[in-house]
Amino acid sequence: MATVFLVEDDMRLSQLTADFLRNHDLTVRQFADGSNLLSHIREERPDILLLDVMLPGEDGFSLCRTVRREYDGPVLFLTARDTNFDQVLGLELGADDYVIKPVEPRVLLARINALLRRVQKDPAAKNHDQLQFGKLQIDRASRKVMLGQEAIQLTSHEFDLLWMLAENASELVEREKIYTELIGREYDGLDRSADVRISRLRKKLNDNQKNPQRIKTIWGKGFFFVADAWE
């Protein structure tokens, strides 16, 4: 059973959410705030973290920034503020997804399961689940990325996005494919989630943000992983 950490200060909502998830074969640990959250994560290594944005004390954005230093599992924000700014900021801080409260419990469960499926390790994974382009090495079985001698720390969603791009090296990966297969929803023409994640990948992989040479944007269409740009 996957373990969910739920950080939500509304105790009634927290209990209703936890009960629903437990009824669908998930183990849930509830927290009313972010006090000692990182310590609990170190001890139990949850499979997914659900973070309310508006919390007493340290808010969800700050907590996400803190835990991302050590935790590479999925982070899903729960936010009552339906603004592009909040959503983009959450993604830039390392969240994998967000839902707007109030959320239908089955929708939340579907989002959680989608994130968990992406990070489950395939027990039959072989060594051929590796890609290498010059100094860049990507290992799908261990979900590790090396750039030269440097280990690149990616979130679960960043890794999946990089693998999708690299697996289709020198080919256009359309936005619609990223949204439907990785993000889990249709692209509406306005959602910037993919752009934010691409920007984070470029930064971590030492690509030029203003004039990218390794992961290029094909405006109006999608993204292009340059196979010979990793020497």
Q: What is the CATH number of the domain that holds 211?
A: 1.10.10.10
Per-residue pLDDT at 200 exceeds 60: yes
Q: Is residue 220 part of a domain?
A: yes
Contact of 27 with 52, CB cutoff 8 Å: no
Q: Which of 63, 58, 65, 60 is nearest to 80 (CA)?
A: 60
> Do 11 and 60 fall into the same domain?
yes
Residue ending a domain, choose from 119, 140, 165: 119
Residue ending a domain, choose from 69, 89, 119: 119
> Do 153 and 105 fall into the same domain?
no
> Do 16 and 80 fall into the same domain?
yes
> Do 107 and 160 fall into the same domain?
no
* Residue-number span of the structural domain to which 198 is assigned: 130-225
Question: Can you name the residues that pair with 97 across neighbouring β-strands?
Answer: 76
State residue 97's pLDDT score: 85
Mean pLDDT confidence for 11-17 = 95
Here the CATH number for the domain that contains residue 62 is: 3.40.50.2300
> Do 97 and 198 fall into the same domain?
no
Q: Is residue 103 part of a domain?
A: yes
Report the alpha-carbon distance of residue 62 to residue 191 in Å, rounded.
23
State residue 125's pLDDT score: 43
* Residue pLDDT, tens place only, 83-125: 665 667 777 777 888 888 888 999 899 989 988 887 765 444 4
Q: Is residue 230 part of a domain?
A: no
Q: Is residue 13 part of a domain?
A: yes
Residue ending a domain, choose from 119, 152, 178: 119
Q: Is residue 175 part of a domain?
A: yes
Per-residue pLDDT at 28 exceeds 90: yes
The reported pTM is 0.62
> Do 135 and 187 fall into the same domain?
yes
- Number of domains within the chain: 2
State residue 8's pLDDT score: 95
Q: Is residue 125 part of a domain?
A: no
Per-residue pLDDT at 151 exceeds 90: yes
- Band (pLDDT 50/70/90 cuts) for residue 204 is very high
> Do 22 and 115 fall into the same domain?
yes
* Residue pLDDT, tens place only, 161-196: 999 999 999 889 999 999 988 888 888 888 888 898
State residue 122's pLDDT score: 45
The residue that leads in pLDDT, 18 or 155, is 18
> Do 140 and 214 fall into the same domain?
yes
Report the alpha-carbon distance of residue 112 to residue 116 in Å, rounded.
6
> Do 50 and 110 fall into the same domain?
yes
In whole angstroms, how far apart are CA 25 and each of 59, 103, 113, 121? 29, 19, 11, 19
> Do 61 and 108 fall into the same domain?
yes
